[in-house]
């Protein structure tokens, strides 16, 4: 007989190509069974249990009203807890968890706490508007909040979230998959993985590459990702006359990203604060690259200094400084011993602090604490 408790993992739209970390975290659960809850489901069910809204009207009405009646509530009665990813999704899920009378934990990933309120209020997305209007309610009624970095935890505290409800828990990386392998690539390259948005600092990266590409004629810059800034980046590549030394590769699967990471000389992603305040909470791609034994070049921005130890696992420069970024890239590309030393230390660091098995054990402890707290409160209330 299976006596394991079941957690519902909530994301409004699931799965997204850039959020494989959610699936990986769920796979790593040891003492909980799981199912996904979402409005839109774009994956394959296989053995995964998923509760989602099938009808167009149900999706529309739920988005507008957050009404839990659009979900098949009786089929969710065996859930002991709901774990929501991202603050706006938590606001959307609140009525459902209230209807089920179970605790709700919310993981904040950065964008959901760094964007300014004006940006939310002027957004055309109903979920953003709900978030702006009901954030204070979430602070009061949410059972607990998970910060993916110290940087995010400090932002939650500044925003008025109760200290005793917050725990910093890194998501973690599967270090058995993301691991060093012998170099077999014929082409030397610097790898960048990130969506084509202002936060990722790709304009700065291209300008930095234009400064040094002639010093390293045998090295290319490969960039994996897509997004609203693609046309601007393509034009900049033309303007800088570096088209034969840069390749925008579009979106890739998690397996493909891993393979490219393992063969890279350097991983570079110079994130910066976006105009709407959006900042990098930590950047799991840094942990993945380090787990593969690849040194990092990035910026002193957001939670990145927690993921990249400056001078040990990589080099950090000021955000937006293409000259400093170029110097850091050139330093690593020109020194094989330094690359090897930083790559080895990066692997050790991830094993110490970001291994998904260790981090998920910590997460499950929070699950159990939240359930026990909720049951204690429920037992004390008059019937």
Q: What is the pTM of this model?
A: 0.92
81 and 215 both lie in a single domain: no
Q: Residue 45: its pLDDT value, please?
A: 59
How big is the chain by its Cα radius of gyration, in Å?
A: 22
146 and 219 both lie in a single domain: no
221 and 100 both lie in a single domain: no
Q: Residue 320: its pLDDT value, please?
A: 97
Whether residue 47 is predicted with pLDDT greater than 70 in this model: the reply is no
**Residue 53 CA from chain centroid, whole number:** 25
162 and 192 both lie in a single domain: no
Token pair recorded at residue 303: 């939670």
The pLDDT tens digits of the residues spanning 59-74 come to 999 999 999 999 999 9
Q: Which long-range contacts (CB under 8 A, 24 or more apart) does 252-258 make?
A: 252/224, 253/17, 254/20, 256/224, 257/193, 257/224, 257/285, 257/288, 258/177, 258/178, 258/288, 258/292
193 and 150 both lie in a single domain: no
342 and 359 both lie in a single domain: no
Using an 8 Å Cβ cutoff, are 297 and 270 in contact?
yes
User: Is residue 178 included in any domain, yes or no?
Assistant: no
Pairing state between β 246-248 and 219-224: parallel
208 and 245 both lie in a single domain: yes
Q: Residue 3: its pLDDT value, please?
A: 79
The pLDDT tens digits of the residues spanning 11-33 come to 999 998 889 999 999 999 999 99
SS3 content of the chain, % helix, strand, coil (to 5): 45, 20, 35
> How many domains is the chain partitioned into structurally?
2
In 3D space, the residue among 82, 111, 119 whose CA is nearest the CA of residue 367 turns out to be 82
Burial of 180 (0-12, 13-18, 19+ CB in 10 A): middle
Cis ω on the peptide bond leading into residue 54 (within 30° of 0)?
no
CATH number at residue 323: 3.40.50.2000
Q: Residue 342: its pLDDT value, please?
A: 98
Q: Give the percent of the chain with pLDDT over 70.
A: 98
Q: To the nearest whole number, what is the mean pLDDT of the chain?
A: 94
Higher pLDDT, 43 or 327: 327
193 and 331 both lie in a single domain: yes
Q: Give the percent of the chain with pLDDT over 90.
A: 87
Whether residue 1 is predicted with pLDDT greater than 80 in this model: the reply is no
CA dihedral 30, 105, 194, 289 (to 10 degrees): -40
> For the residues 45-69, what does the mean pLDDT come to?
90
In 3D space, the residue among 33, 68, 36 whose CA is nearest the CA of residue 52 turns out to be 36
Token pair 């009525």: residue: 95
Per DSSP, 69 falls in state G
Ramachandran angles phi, psi of 214, nearest 5°: -75, -20
User: Is residue 183 included in any domain, yes or no?
Assistant: no
Buried/exposed 44-80: b ≥16 CB within 10 Å, e otherwise? eeeeeebbbbeeeebbeebbeebebebbeeeebeebb
Q: Cα separation of 146 and 137, whole Å?
A: 17
Q: Residue 216: its pLDDT value, please?
A: 97
> For the residues 171-187, what does the mean pLDDT come to?
95
User: Is residue 182 included in any domain, yes or no?
Assistant: no
pLDDT band for position 117 (50/70/90)?
confident
> For the residues 169-189, what does the mean pLDDT come to?
95
44 and 68 both lie in a single domain: yes
User: Is residue 374 included in any domain, yes or no?
Assistant: yes
308 and 366 both lie in a single domain: no
> Residue 263 sits in which domain range?
188-353
168 and 229 both lie in a single domain: no
362 and 297 both lie in a single domain: no
């Amino acid at each position: 007989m299976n006596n394991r408790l079941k957690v519902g993992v909530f994301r409004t739209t699931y799965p997204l190509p850039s959020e494989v970390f959610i699936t990986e975290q769920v796979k790593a659960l040891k003492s909980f069974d799981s199912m996904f809850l979402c409005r839109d489901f774009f994956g394959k069910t296989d053995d995964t249990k998923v509760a989602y809204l099938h009808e167009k009207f149900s999706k529309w009405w739920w988005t507008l009203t957050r009404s839990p009646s659009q979900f098949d509530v009786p089929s969710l009665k065996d859930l002991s807890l709901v774990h929501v990813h991202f603050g706006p999704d938590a606001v959307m899920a609140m009525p459902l968890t209230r209807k089920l009378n179970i605790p709700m934990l919310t993981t904040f990933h950065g964008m959901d706490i760094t964007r300014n309120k004006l940006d939310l209020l002027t957004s055309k997305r109903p979920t953003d508007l709900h978030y702006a209007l009901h954030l204070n309610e979430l602070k009061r009624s949410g059972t607990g909040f998970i910060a993916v970095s110290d940087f995010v935890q400090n932002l939650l505290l500044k925003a008025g979230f109760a200290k005793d409800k917050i725990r910093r828990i890194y998501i973690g990386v599967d270090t058995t998959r993301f691991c060093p392998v012998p170099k077999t690539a014929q082409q030397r390259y610097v790898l960048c993985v990130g969506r084509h948005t202002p936060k990722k600092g790709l304009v700065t990266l291209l300008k930095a590459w234009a400064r040094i590409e002639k010093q390293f004629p045998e090295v290319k810059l490969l960039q994996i990702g897509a997004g609203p800034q693609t046309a601007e980046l393509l034009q900049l590549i033309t303007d800088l006359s570096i088209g034969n030394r840069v390749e925008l590769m579009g979106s890739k699967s998690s397996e493909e990203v891993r393979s490219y990471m393992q063969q890279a000389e350097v991983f570079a992603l110079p994130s910066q604060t976006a105009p709407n305040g959006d900042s990098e909470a930590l950047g799991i791609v840094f942990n993945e690259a380090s787990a593969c034994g690849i040194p990092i070049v990035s910026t002193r921005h957001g939670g990145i200094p927690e993921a990249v130890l400056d001078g040990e696992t990589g080099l950090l420069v000021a955000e937006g400084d293409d000259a400093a970024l170029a110097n850091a890239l050139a330093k690593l590309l020109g020194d094989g011993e330094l690359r090897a030393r930083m790559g080895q230390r990066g692997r050790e660091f991830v094993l110490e602090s970001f291994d998904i098995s260790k981090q998920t054990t910590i997460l499950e402890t929070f699950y159990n604490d939240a359930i026990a707290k909720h049951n204690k409160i429920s037992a004390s209330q008059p019937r």
